[in-house]
Amino acid sequence: MSAFALRNISKSYGTNSILNDVSIEAEAGEFIALVGPSGCGKSTLLRIAAGLDHGDAGSIWMGDREITAEHPADRNVAMVFQSYALYPHLTAEQNIAVPLAMRNLSTLQRMPFLGRFMAGRSTTQAAIKQQVLATATSLKIDHLLDRKPGQMSGGQRQRVALARALVRQPGVFLMDEPLSNLDANLRVHTRAEIVDLHRRTGVPTIYVTHDQSEALSMADRVAVMMGGRVLQFAPPAEIYDNPRHIEVAKFVGSPRINIINATTSDDGAVFFGGKAVVNGVTGPVGTLVQLGIRPERIKLKPHGAKGIAATVSRLEFLGSEVLVTTEVDGVEDGLVVKAAPVDVVHLSAGAPVTLVIDKDACLVFGQDGLRVPLRAPAKVSVDA
Amino acid sequence: MRNTALFSMRNLRLGILSAGALVFLAPYIWMISTAAKSREEIFSSSLTLLPQHWALWENLAKAFTRVPMGQLLLNGLIVCGLIFFFQVVIAIPCAYAMAKLKFRAAQTMMTLVMLGLLIPIHATALPIYVALNKAGMLNSYFALSAPFFISVFGIFLFLQFFRAMPDDLISAARLDGMSELAIVNRVIVPNAWPAVTAFAIFSVVAHWNDLFWPLIVITGTERATPPLGLLFFRAAEAGDDYGALMAATLIITLPLVAAFLLAQRRFIEGITLTGLKG
């Protein structure tokens, strides 16, 4: 049984379907990333999980407790918003204390003036203050407690927002692109901090992002969403190496995967550049397929070597590696190759080269975008 | 280097603006001048701004003794306070609901608010007067203030302001366990001060200076607002003691002028409605 589960959630506005039978679950202590282009429904799904929005169908479970109809406050979920959504008129300390005050103090005790005379208020408030301080210290923001959000930097506000979510010890953490308002340096740093925080607290986390590298680097499992559907929900390595859909393959990985249009020949072989790059594609001969090849799975060889003839059209130096864009006959956009800098020192735009595609590097997708299964290579060799 | 040219663009602009300001201020300045003059001097043929004999204290004393000036000012304060209090208490939750909650009647309500903006008090004055008369509530603070408790202008103003507030803030408040009422009290109102200030200016200025409605529902001085009191004063004095009349006018305009000068910066902030930067 999973710690938090969204089951078969559907949602549409009028005839516009936003979510289509989406199921995601997080095991205890798991970090789940929801990734997809903007407008794919990931933020809506998160709002439904929080109870801020309601699906047309489906159910939400916290362990074995169904919370589909519960009020956001009763679900014991915590959310970190993209804009942080800190109360501008309260100090950091007051901001962090709000969820505790709302939960632990009665309405009368919270009254602006009368509250002071209500029994038990001061002990509860002392406890809240203690908890706020402990949370703030663990996030290293205890020196900011008496500042208002307007007097803090983006990174500091982000920590206060995290502290406000953390302080109530939620059953699940929901994060809606919490890093997208930070500058690039701080983002990478905070990424690691959030993962650390997650390891320490062990609270299952659902993290929404449009940045595939963020999703791959942080999450235990990644759900790739497109057009209101989950195309694949798997660990990062599985998503990268074994995408089930061409859109997943295209979305994940930077630089983008190379796509080549081709047709199958006898015995399910696909020829490219005069060489069979894949064998054992199932389906009839002459089927149109799309081959996906990651840029790091293509090798650059000197002109004249055995392989695919190509011409360098652009070199992009990225420090530890160089992206080489090449023009190849029969491929409209050309092929991008990721190469080590030492291999390209002698190259410049216009130079002829030879490309060699790694064995087993090709991912084969049908016209419907789904992966086409291959017959097991062992069987092929037996037949031959 | 300092720009010392006498006919620079800046000085030219300043000159035009000053001339414009003088045109608008002239009646008020003349009022102060008249308030300080004796009766003989007002009716003398020579036109002077500064009085030859200062009679300001005599005129002020007359204004205070011939009409219950203290009572008038207190009435004005009570009526403006009552109106403003109820307007805010009603308009803020209403505007919040229309700006941030989704409900079926939202569109209809918006239309009604727009319609309400188009209908002046003069159109509804008669039915309201008849109703108050039948209820026996003329000549009361209630009659003076109740027709203005629901301010569509206030709803409209707050609506525009609340729409600009981030939705995430309200979502966060809901997740933190606040009820809708708590959201209004703890999140919306504390962050809506610029809008409340702006609305306070419009509301208090309009109702402090209003003569039309008090004239309809009030017949005696004991519930009269300052402008109405002024009217009684003029009638009682048969209209030739302009010095005292201007002194009385000075007194009733003074609270607003003083309030403006004291809180000038906040007022302008409020009118320009500087948004929230959170």
Q: A238, A232, A250: which is closest to A34 by C-alpha?
A: A232
Q: Is the pLDDT of residue B73 over 50?
A: yes
Contact (CB<8Å) B191/A78: no
Contact (CB<8Å) B178/A73: yes
Instruction: Give the confidence band of B108 by pLDDT, cuts at 50, 70, 90.
Output: very high
Q: A36, A62, A90: which is closest to A232 by C-alpha?
A: A36
Helix H, strand E, coil C: the string for A349-365 is CCCEEEEEECCCCCEEE
Q: Which chain B residues are closer than 8 Å to A72 by Cβ?
A: 174-175
What does the pLDDT read at residue A275?
76
Q: Is the pLDDT of residue A166 over 60?
A: yes
Helices (H), A51-202: 92-104, 121-138, 154-166, 184-201
Angle formed at CA A50 by CA A46 and CA A53, multiple of 5 degrees: 80
To probe the interface with A, which of B176, B179, B181, B193 has the most A CB atoms within 10 Å?
Answer: B176
User: What are the structure tokens assigned to B272, written together?
Assistant: 């320009």
Q: Is the pLDDT of residue B244 over 90?
A: no
Contact (CB<8Å) A81/B178: no
Side by side, which strands form the sheet with A16-26? A16-26, A4-13, A57-62, A65-66
| CATH architecture of residue range(s) A256-383 | Beta Barrel (2.40)
Instruction: Give the confidence band of A112 by pLDDT, cuts at 50, 70, 90.
Output: low
Partner residues linked to A104 by β-bridges: none
What does the pLDDT read at residue A126?
87
- What are the residues whose beta carbons fall under 8 Å from the beta carbon of B206, sequence distance 6 or more? none
Partner residues linked to A180 by β-bridges: none
Instruction: Give the confidence band of B77 by pLDDT, cuts at 50, 70, 90.
Output: very high
What percentage of chain A exceeds 90 in pLDDT? 53
For residue B79, give the DSSP letter: H
**Does the domain made of A4-241 have the CATH classification 3.50.50.60?**
no
Least confident of A188-197, B166-175, B185-194, B258-267: B258-267
What does the pLDDT read at residue B201?
85
Mean pLDDT in residue range A186-211: 91
Angle formed at CA B89 by CA B87 and CA B94, multiple of 5 degrees: 90
Mean pLDDT in residue range A273-277: 76
Looking at per-residue confidence, does B239 or A101 come out higher?
Answer: A101
Q: How many CB pairs under 8 A join A and B?
A: 64
Q: Which chain B residues are closer than 8 Å to A73 by Cβ?
A: 174-178
Q: Which chain B residues are closer than 8 Å to A67 by Cβ?
A: none
Instruction: Give the confidence band of B241 by pLDDT, cuts at 50, 70, 90.
Output: confident
Domain spans, chain A: 4-241, 256-383
- What are the residues whose beta carbons fall under 8 Å from the beta carbon of A347, sequence distance 6 or more? A300, A312, A315, A324, A353
Q: Does A83 touch chain B (CB under 8 A)?
A: yes
Q: Which chain A residues are closer than 8 Å to B186 by Cβ?
A: 87
Q: Does A169 touch chain B (CB under 8 A)?
A: no
**Does the domain made of B68-236 have the CATH classification 1.10.3720.10?**
yes
What does the pLDDT read at residue A311?
92
Q: Is the pLDDT of residue B16 over 90?
A: yes
Least confident of A294-303, B27-36, B236-245: B236-245
**Identity of the residue in A77, A82, A88 whose CB atom sits nearest the CB atom of B278:** A88
Q: Which residue of A has its CA nearest to B170?
A: A85
Contact (CB<8Å) A85/B172: yes
Contact (CB<8Å) B178/A78: no
What does the pLDDT read at residue B237?
58
What does the pLDDT read at residue A379?
44
In chain B, ranges of CATH 1.10.3720.10 domains? 68-236
Instruction: Give the confidence band of A233 by pLDDT, cuts at 50, 70, 90.
Output: very high
* ipTM surpassing 0.90: no
**Identity of the residue in B168, B177, B178 whose CB atom sits nearest the CB atom of A85:** B168
Instruction: Give the confidence band of B4 by pLDDT, cuts at 50, 70, 90.
Output: low
